[in-house]
Amino acid sequence: MRTVAVAHDSVIVFLSSGCSGCATFWEQLADRRGLAAVGDNRVVVVTKGPDEESPSALRQLCPPDVDLVMSSAAWADFDVPGSPYVIVVDGGSGRVKGEGSGTSLTQISGLMRQAHGDGASSGGGPRIVKPRSDARREVDVDRALLAAGIGPGHHSLYPSEDQGR
């Protein structure tokens, strides 16, 4: 199940079997008209792992034609604050195009279209909102490089012509 280097974006929907706020999402996923809210994008539902979720409840909630991943690690990797939460991943680059919480797939799709339109109208292209975990990792890497004496413009960051041959 790829989300990078594919021709479509992926809408990753973080849900829980016991979350009352997730009920509308589960209903819309079961209704083909509800999936129309995300267009041609691929939908992947991510719940926490089997130690924190009810697999039998998820079998009843998640339609068989919707991809379901049970992964607490994914919640940590994307720094998901709670459910329901949606992250849209660009299929070409794998970058997060937008993320947020809402009450339904319909509402989230409206927010994503608005964010894309706002970014396009400002001339900067779609606004990319990175998960906080990515930003923290970047800060950690920058600190480690600076501690090693490697800063912006350092020669080791740019291969010489001899290395390219």
pLDDT in tens, 98-132: 888 888 888 877 766 654 554 444 444 444 455 56
State how far the Cα of 149 lies from the Cα of 79, in Å rounded to an integer.
30
Is the separation of the CB atoms in 21 and 83 below 8 Å? yes
- The mean pLDDT value of the chain amounts to 79
**Residue 22 confidence (pLDDT) above 80:** yes
pTM score above 0.85? no
Query: Which pLDDT belongs to residue 101?
Result: 87
CATH superfamily of 10-121: Glutaredoxin (3.40.30.10)
pLDDT for the residue numbered 14: 96
Between CA 28 and CA 113, with CA 38 as vertex, the angle to 5 degrees is: 125
130 Cβ contact partners less than 8 Å away, ≥ 6 residues apart: 95, 96
The yes-or-no verdict on residue 56 having pLDDT over 50 is: yes
| pLDDT confidence of residue 119 | 42
Q: Residue for token digits 């041609």?
A: 40
The reported pLDDT for the residue numbered 104 is 87
